Amino acid sequence: MAKYLKHDAGIVREVETGATGGATDANKIPALNAAGQLTEAMMPTGVGRDVNTYTASEALAAGAIVNVWDDAGTIKIRNADASTNKPAHGFVSQAVTSGAVAEVYAEGTNASVSGLSSVDIYLSGTAGQVTGTIPTTSGHLVQKVGVYASASSFNFERGTVIRLA
């Protein structure tokens, strides 16, 4: 932990930098974490990851596009799927087992995909996956879910859902 000198009522004393945020770190100089970044707790409300936690109702792969749904009064997540009327609400960055709690990102970079080459990224008819091709199958959903960043990542941006007739 880094330290600095602070003038306190006529006395100079050594003080540790703040590392976690919150009231205990009030009036301290912030410290960076091991990745060289400020912790999310140091940021004001509204700045940081747009993430919520939900229980998975099925196994989810790292990078899976997920659907948030009501399971008899309990909000859960499952693989989003254009072929089975399950629109995308976000993505998970890590694999999750059925029944486990997962962090769902409502925006941000999904870096757990591969083979991307199109500018616009759409929800796929394969559960939890994306495609660069606009779905055209009758009864399927068309939902843009992001924009290309690299062959192995895209910026998730939840789009309007259209069901094809």
Top-confidence residue, 49 or 142 = 142
Instruction: Indicate the pLDDT class of residue 151, thresholds 50, 70 and 90.
Output: very high
What band does 154 get if pLDDT is binned at 50, 70 and 90?
Answer: very high
Determine the 3-state secondary structure of 97 from DSSP: coil
- Mean pLDDT over all residues of the chain? 91
Q: State pLDDT tens for residues 1-22.
A: 678 888 888 899 888 887 777 7
| Residue 96: exposure state from Cβ atoms within 10 A (0-12, 13-18, ≥19) | buried
**Burial annotation 110-144 (CB, 10 A radius, 16+ → b, else e):** bebbeebeeebbbbbbebbbbbeeebeeeebbbbb
pLDDT of residue 59: 98
pLDDT tens readout for residues 53-68: 999 999 999 999 999 9
Is the per-residue pLDDT at 120 higher than 70?
yes
Between these two residues, 154 and 10, which has the higher pLDDT value?
A: 154
- How far apart CA 67 and CA 76 sit, in angstroms, is 8
Q: What percent of the chain has pLDDT over 70?
A: 99
What's the alpha-carbon Rg for the chain, to the nearest Å?
A: 21
Q: Is the pLDDT of residue 111 over 70?
A: yes
pLDDT band at 36 (very low <50, low <70, confident <90, very high): confident
Q: What is the pLDDT of residue 5?
A: 86
pLDDT tens figures, 79-102: 999 999 999 999 999 999 999 999
Phi, psi (5° rounding) for residue 19? -120, -25
Nearest Cα neighbor of 158 from 113, 107, 110, 111 is 107
